[in-house]
Amino acid sequence: MLAQGYDIYRTRCQACHGANGEGQSAPGFKGIADRLSFEKHVEKVVDGVDGTRMPAWKGILTDDEINAVVRYEREVLGAKN
């Protein structure tokens, strides 16, 4: 699942969140598990964030893809930064 999450992150998220999740034009993932529950993190990916450049991925990514990228962001990028 982490490999799938990496692939999705690299193609869909990295441009704004940074190659290593350090944040660029969007927030980084350091300490993400302390700031957001898994469910709230998924919600942000599904619905997007009003007033920001964060798009809603519902209907573009499947539920499995969203879960994979959120796990990657939390387990790999959240621990890395």
pLDDT, residue 80, reads 73
Give the CATH architecture of domain 2-80: Orthogonal Bundle (1.10)
The residue with tokens 């999705």 is 8
Whole-angstrom distance, CA of residue 6 vs CA of residue 14: 10
Q: Beta partners for 61? A: 58
pLDDT, residue 46, reads 98
- Over residues 1-27, the pLDDT tens digits come to 899 999 999 999 999 999 999 999 999
8 A C-beta contact, residue 64 and residue 8: no
- Over residues 26-53, the pLDDT tens digits come to 999 999 999 999 999 999 999 999 999 9
Q: Where are the domains of the chain?
A: 2-80
Which band of pLDDT confidence, cut at 50, 70 and 90, is reported for residue 81? Answer: low
Report the 10 Å Cβ neighbour count for 41. Answer: 21
Whole-angstrom distance, CA of residue 2 vs CA of residue 65: 10
